[in-house]
Amino acid sequence: MIKKFVHQSLAVVGMMAALSLGASAQEKKESGNVFKDGWITMKIHSQYIPEDALDGSNIDVDTTNGVVTLTGTVSTAAGRSRAVAIAKATDGVKSVNDKLRVVPPAAAKPGVAQKTGRAVNDGWIKSKIYSQFLTDWKTLEDSDIDIDVSSGVVTLKGTVKTDAAKTRAEAIAKGTDGVKDVKNNLRVVAK
């Protein structure tokens, strides 16, 4: 009898804890404070870095109110499927608009930089910078940064909270393999 009572009590406590945690998570999602668009974009890009199926891709990720739009190019249909799957599985993503184009890679060009067996192209540079921004999220918190890369030249646009965040974003971009130059067009906007 005591054993049954203890078991039932533990079950009730477990259910109450689960309901409480579920409510907290739901409240956070409804308040919009958990997953900001900038964080979602950075998270998706950071997940693209180790993906072999995305080697040679040049993907742009735009997030608005949790809706992700993927544009740019991938080398294969499998790469396209993988890019979409990663985006859909990312916390905070409500839906994904797939506007990717499959463009087979051109023959390898002599002198193209390599990093761990991967070509360092504009898409890789963009994803790598976003990935590094994600690891330095405390400094860049509440930033809304868009990265454009063309022939190794990085342009940073958007807003940051502090001058320190602006300086840090530029330093991260400059320290990334394959970056030839950085144009820092970030604006400091106190929030």
pLDDT tens track for 15-45? 333 333 333 333 333 334 457 888 898 899 8
Cβ burial, residue 101 (10 Å; 0-12/13-18/19+):
exposed
List the one residue out of 76, 121, 124 whose CA is nearest residue 101. 76
pLDDT tens digits, 112-125: 444 445 567 888 89
Q: Which backbone phi and psi does 90 adopt, to 5 degrees?
A: -80, 135
Report pLDDT digits (tens) over 60-73. 899 999 999 999 99
- The tokens for 47 are 């997940």
pLDDT of 51 over the 80 cut:
yes
- Predicted structure pTM score: 0.66
As to burial, measured by CB atoms within 10 angstroms (0-12 exposed, 13-18 middle, 19+ buried), residue 88 is middle
Whole-angstrom CA distances from 82 to 53, 88, 137 are 7, 10, 25
pLDDT of residue 117: 53
State the DSSP string of 79-100.
HHHHHHHHHHHSTT--EEEEEE
Tokens of 124: 């890789």
Fold classified for 37-188: hypothetical protein tt1634 (3.40.1520)
Looking at residue 50, its pLDDT comes to 87
Write down the domain spans for the chain. 1-34, 37-188
Q: Do the Cβ atoms of 152 and 98 come closer than 8 Å? A: no
pLDDT more than 90, % of the chain = 43
Higher pLDDT pick, 51 / 27: 51
pLDDT grade, residue 174 (50/70/90)? very high
Residues listed for the chain: 191
pLDDT at 118: 59
Q: What is the mean pLDDT of residues 88-101?
A: 96
Q: What is the pLDDT of residues 114-154, one digit of tens each?
A: 444 556 788 889 889 988 888 887 888 888 888 999 999 99
Q: How far apart are CA 52 and CA 49, in angstroms?
A: 8
Q: Which residues contact 53 (CB under 8 A, 6 or more apart)?
A: 76, 78, 79, 82
pLDDT score of 171: 94
Mean pLDDT of 165-190: 93
Tell me which DSSP letter residue 109 carries. P
Mean pLDDT value across the chain: 78
